[in-house]
């Protein structure tokens, strides 16, 4: 019963602490902002998604010269000339310019160049860019297949349509790859959202333990009939519970906004083990900190270190990225079916690591306590 009392005390201390309430509010604002961005970018891959998700955006207006095709999700205006002043005069997001007699040239087996001029001062220019590029790539693939059926030599076809892009106000021509916003959403944004409570759990741990030291109540706590393990559990479990509840709330918001998250139980289990590891690091920092100021320095340095470990592999290649927890969260969240036998070793290693870190933190805390005594 005494451990339950300690659990309730720690839980209430956290949920009533103004600093944590502010942190939760800041996280909420960040999550909503990220979700809005994700909805906008997801609509690039499926323009009809905008209406179903409830995201309200103005339909981008584009000008088209020498090209007779529809761009789903865009409002196209046929223009006679490729005068860039039309972007400003007609409030256009982009101007698509095709060469004269483009259809005849393609039928004769020639390759053509289509120029896209973007107004990068318009917030919807990225949306228009991706939609236009996707439609032109589909047209290019269609023409390529038709030529292959006639000629039979795929290597001789190459790309019948070359897309050139430039930004209004800049002389330098900029070439873009195909947009991969879905990869950005599941590979970075969603794992970032789910890891917000994890990073905060380390700070809550140090505040709980070091706060007792500053208030001179830590010695009173360890002199109670509670064992060291019971005290550790009484402080760790509330933080673990609050962190998991936060993650569930973020997932719920994602689902409400029609951003699909698969394998939620596996994700929560993974985050629980990861949170336990971070809490263990918080215990280690607490063992060497006598004031909250010292603990805050340790937490800040640890967050910087773990941020580099988690997020730096994104720019270091696919093989390195697979070692990051972001890759695990990304695969779980984006795949409706996962091979349970492949992820069991990951969970097992993380479980052993988290237990080892917690035990190490407990031993260091006890060792520092004996030194003070």
Q: Give the model confidence (pLDDT) of 271-285 as tens digits.
A: 999 999 999 999 999
Mean pLDDT of the chain: 79
CATH label of the domain that carries residue 158: 3.40.1710.10
Residue 344 lies in a domain: yes
194 and 316, same domain (yes or no): yes
The boundaries of the domain holding residue 104 are 58-174
35 and 88, same domain (yes or no): no
- Check whether 317 has a pLDDT greater than 60: no
Residue 350 is predicted with a pLDDT of 92
Residue 157 lies in a domain: yes
State how far the alpha carbon of 124 is from the alpha carbons of 39, 73, 74, 92, in Å.
Answer: 13, 12, 10, 10
Residues 334 and 186: beta-carbon distance below 8 Å: yes
Which helix (H) or strand (E) is 97 found in, with range? Answer: strand 94-97
Using a pLDDT cut of 70, give the percent of the chain over it. 78
Task: State the DSSP string of 247-304.
Answer: HHHHHHHHHHTT-----HHHHHHHHHHHHHHHHHHHHHHHHT-SSHHHHHHHHHHHHH
| Total domains present in the chain | 2
Residue 202 is predicted with a pLDDT of 93
Residue 50 lies in a domain: no
pTM listed for this prediction: 0.63
Residue 34 lies in a domain: yes
Residue 240 is predicted with a pLDDT of 93
Residue 48 lies in a domain: no
- Token pair in block for residue 236: 């760790």
137 and 188, same domain (yes or no): no
Residue 341 lies in a domain: yes
pLDDT class for 159, splitting at 50, 70, 90?
low
187 and 310, same domain (yes or no): yes
Residues 250 and 194: beta-carbon distance below 8 Å: yes
Q: Of the candidates 157, 174, 191, which is a domain's last residue?
A: 174
Residue 298 is predicted with a pLDDT of 93
Q: Give the model confidence (pLDDT) of 16-42 as tens digits.
A: 888 888 989 998 888 888 777 766 655
66 and 11, same domain (yes or no): no
- Check whether 239 has a pLDDT greater than 70: yes
Q: Of the candidates 174, 200, 215, which is a domain's last residue?
A: 174
- Token pair in block for residue 56: 């309200």
Residues 1 and 234: beta-carbon distance below 8 Å: no
Q: Give the model confidence (pLDDT) of 247-259 as tens digits.
A: 999 998 888 876 7
Q: Which of 183, 191, 194, 190 is nearest to 324 (CA)?
A: 191
Q: Give the model confidence (pLDDT) of 45-73 as tens digits.
A: 444 444 444 444 457 889 898 888 888 87
- Token pair in block for residue 226: 């509670």
220 and 270, same domain (yes or no): yes
Mean pLDDT over 123-129 rounds to: 72
Query: Bridge partners of 112?
Result: 161
239 and 260, same domain (yes or no): yes
Contacts of 189 by beta carbon, 8 Å cutoff, 6+ apart:
34, 37, 38
218 and 367, same domain (yes or no): yes
214 and 273, same domain (yes or no): yes
280 and 258, same domain (yes or no): yes
Q: Of the candidates 114, 140, 174, which is a domain's last residue?
A: 174
Residue 353 lies in a domain: yes
199 and 289, same domain (yes or no): yes
Residue 183 is predicted with a pLDDT of 61
139 and 223, same domain (yes or no): no
């Amino acid at each position: 019963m005494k451990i339950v009392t300690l659990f309730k005390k720690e839980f209430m201390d956290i949920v009533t602490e103004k600093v944590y309430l502010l942190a939760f509010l800041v996280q909420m604002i960040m999550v909503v902002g990220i979700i809005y961005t994700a909805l906008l970018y997801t609509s690039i891959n499926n323009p009809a998604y905008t209406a179903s998700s409830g995201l309200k955006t103005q339909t981008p207006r584009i000008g088209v010269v020498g090209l007779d095709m529809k761009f789903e999700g865009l409002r196209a205006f046929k223009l006679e000339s490729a005068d860039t002043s039309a972007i400003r005069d007609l409030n256009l997001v982009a101007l698509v310019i095709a060469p004269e007699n483009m259809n005849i040239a393609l039928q004769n087996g020639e390759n053509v160049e289509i120029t896209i001029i973007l107004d990068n001062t318009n917030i919807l220019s990225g949306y228009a860019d991706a939609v236009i590029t996707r439609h032109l790539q589909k047209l290019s693939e269609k023409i390529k297949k038709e030529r292959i059926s006639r000629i039979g030599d795929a290597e001789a076809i190459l790309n019948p349509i070359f897309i050139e892009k430039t930004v209004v106000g800049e002389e330098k021509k900029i070439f873009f790859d195909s947009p991969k916003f879905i990869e950005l959403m599941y590979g970075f944004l969603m794992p970032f959202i789910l890891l917000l409570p994890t990073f905060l759990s380390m700070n809550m741990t140090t505040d709980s333990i070091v706060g007792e030291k500053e208030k001179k109540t830590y010695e009173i706590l360890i002199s109670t009939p509670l064992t060291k393990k019971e005290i550790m559990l009484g402080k760790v479990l509330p933080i673990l519970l609050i962190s998991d509840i936060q993650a569930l709330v973020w997932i719920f918001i994602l689902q409400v906004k029609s951003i699909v998250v698969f394998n939620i139980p596996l994700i929560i289990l993974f985050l629980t083990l990861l949170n336990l590891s971070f809490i263990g690091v918080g215990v280690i920092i607490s063992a060497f900190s006598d004031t909250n100021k010292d603990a805050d320095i340790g937490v800040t340095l640890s967050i910087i270190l773990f941020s580099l470990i988690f997020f730096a592999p994104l720019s270091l290649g696919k093989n390195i990225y697979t070692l990051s927890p972001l890759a695990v969260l990304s695969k779980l969240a984006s795949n409706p079916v996962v091979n349970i036998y492949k992820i069991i070793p990951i969970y097992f290693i993380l479980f052993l690591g988290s237990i080892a870190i917690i035990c190490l933190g407990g031993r260091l805390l006890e060792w520092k306590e004996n030194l003070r005594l």
